Amino acid sequence: MTFILGLTGGIGSGKSAASQWFEGQGIAVVDADIVAREVVEKGQPTLLQIQQCFGDWVLQPDGTLDRQALRDHIFKEPNARKQLEQITHPAIRKSIIQQLHNATSPYVILVSPLLFETNQHELTQHTLLIDASEELQIARASSRDRQNIDQIQKIIAAQMPRIQKQKMANDIVLNDGELDHLYEKLKPLHLQYLARSETS
C-alpha cells in the first residue's frame, strides 16, 4: 500500500509552495482544491445536483458554475454551505481516493486546506502542517490574491483554529516567509517519508 501524506495549511501559509517543492522531488500530488473544481465542471453529475438544489441561477449562460454567485449566497446563508457540502464532499472524496490509488510515486501527497475539517486526514497515514502566523497569512494572501483583508480574515475565521491544527498534525513546519528556509525544513521530512514508504 502506498504511503499517503496529508499536507495542509491555512490561506497564505505556503502549502502550495511546499507541495510544488515535493512535486519537484518526483512525488505525486493530489490537490483537493483542483479536485473540487473538477467535480463541478460542466456536464458533471455534481453540478447537476447543485443546480437541482439551489436553482438555475447557479449556472452561467454557458452552463458552467457561477462560482461568485454561489460564494456570495453561501456567505449570506449558513445553511446553504451545509447543503453544498453534502453534495460536493462525497464526490470530492471519491475522486481523491481514485487519484491517490492511481499514483505511482514512492509516496503520494494529498494537499487540502480543509484536511482536518472535512476528515480527509482519514485518507492519509501521516499529516504535515505548513504553519504561519495570522499576520503573515494576511500579508501574503492580500498581496497574492488581491483580496481585501476583511475577506481574508473571514476565510481564516471559517477554517479550523491554528492551535487545533497544530494539535492534530504529526509534523509542523513553520514557514517564516523565506522559501529557502521552507525548502531546508522540507528536505529531512522528505527523506523520512521516503523511508516510511519503503516499509508501508
pLDDT at 140: 84
pTM: 0.88
Give yes or no for residue 145 having a pLDDT over 70.
Answer: no
Lowest average pLDDT, out of 110-114, 123-127, 150-154, goes to: 150-154
The DSSP annotation for 138-196 comes to HHHHHHHH---HHHHHHHHHHSPPHHHHHHH-SEEEE--S-HHHHHHHHHHHHHHHHHH
Q: What's the mean pLDDT in 44-60? A: 96
Domains parsed from the chain with CATH numbers: 1-27+107-200 (3.40.50.300), 34-104 (3.40.50.300)
> Can you say whether the dihedral through the CA atoms of 49, 52, 55, 59 is positive or negative?
positive
β-sheet bridge partners, residue 174:
131
